[in-house]
Amino acid sequence: MNTADDDLPALIANALPQIDHAALAGPNDPGHAPRILLLYGSLRGESFSRRAVEESARILRYLGCETRIYDPHGLPLVDEDGVDDTHPKVSELRDAAIWSEGMVWSSPERHGAMTGVMKTQIDWLPLSVQGGIRPTQGKTLAIMQVSGGSQSFNAVNQMRILGRWMRMVTIPNQSSIPKAWLEFQKGRLPAGPFYARVVDVMEELVKFTVMTRSRKDYLVDRYSERLESPEDVHKRVSTKDT
């Protein structure tokens, strides 16, 4: 067995062959490296949800992806007075969401739920923007959580619901790392079952992303919207007497 490289000392390379993109790609596949946006849910200096995202990004790049990690510092609340989608941090997040073909959401569990920092980022991702572009619809999603105590799945369960609401293709696998303060060593997740699960999730995310990205418009096309477009629904509802 051999490790992948100095950047991935815990990864056993011969157990993770490169993914055959050509075998998975659909018609008119763009051919470029899969584009993955990674979000994390903590502003702490030593954020384990960020560490999990950084570890994930290394694996994704090893698997041939292009990655962007969004820094939530400075992102305002959605209902903050005087703040709209022209705010620099909001524009940065939305531009990254439009650029992406898949996402990773990684949140601590706090009081049995995802953090407000994580939820705020998701809340700023609109279902549609000018020109009818839908930043999330049909894109892939992998979900992860870290916990200070025993293993739990409350945050990933919540994020799975949100992914469905955002009409994302949320992959079956997920990662939950308990007692993250013990698992991460000098900022890295060492070889072991939790690291292996993160690799599993990223490998699955890449496969689903390549397989669906050129097919997403067809996969999420639906009967009700062929009867009446979202724009027509908005126009009809907005002109109703109240």
Asked whether 10 and 191 are in contact (CB, 8 A), the reply is yes
Residue 235: per-residue pLDDT: 74
Residue 32: per-residue pLDDT: 95
Give the orientation angle of helix 116-123 with respect to helix 154-165, to 10 degrees.
Answer: 10
Retrieve residue 172's tokens: 């079956």
Asked whether 198 and 52 are in contact (CB, 8 A), the reply is yes
Query: Which fold, 13-238?
Result: Rossmann fold (3.40.50)
3-state secondary structure of 30: coil
Give the separation between CA 80 and CA 87, rounded to whole angstroms: 11
Residue 65: per-residue pLDDT: 97
Residue 234: per-residue pLDDT: 66
Single pTM value for the model:
0.90
Residue 130: per-residue pLDDT: 61
Residue 151: per-residue pLDDT: 85
E-strand spans in the chain? 35-40, 66-69, 102-108, 140-146, 169-170, 175-177
E-strand spans in 114-190? 140-146, 169-170, 175-177
Q: Which residues of 211-234 are buried (b: 16+ CB within 10 A; e: fewer)?
A: bbbbebeeebeeeeeeeeeeeeee
Residue 81: per-residue pLDDT: 82
Asked whether 50 and 180 are in contact (CB, 8 A), the reply is no
Residue 119: per-residue pLDDT: 96
Q: Kindly list the averaged pLDDT for each block of 10 residues, start to end, along the chain of length 242.
A: 74 92 92 97 93 96 97 92 87 94 96 94 83 81 93 93 93 95 90 95 98 90 80 69 54
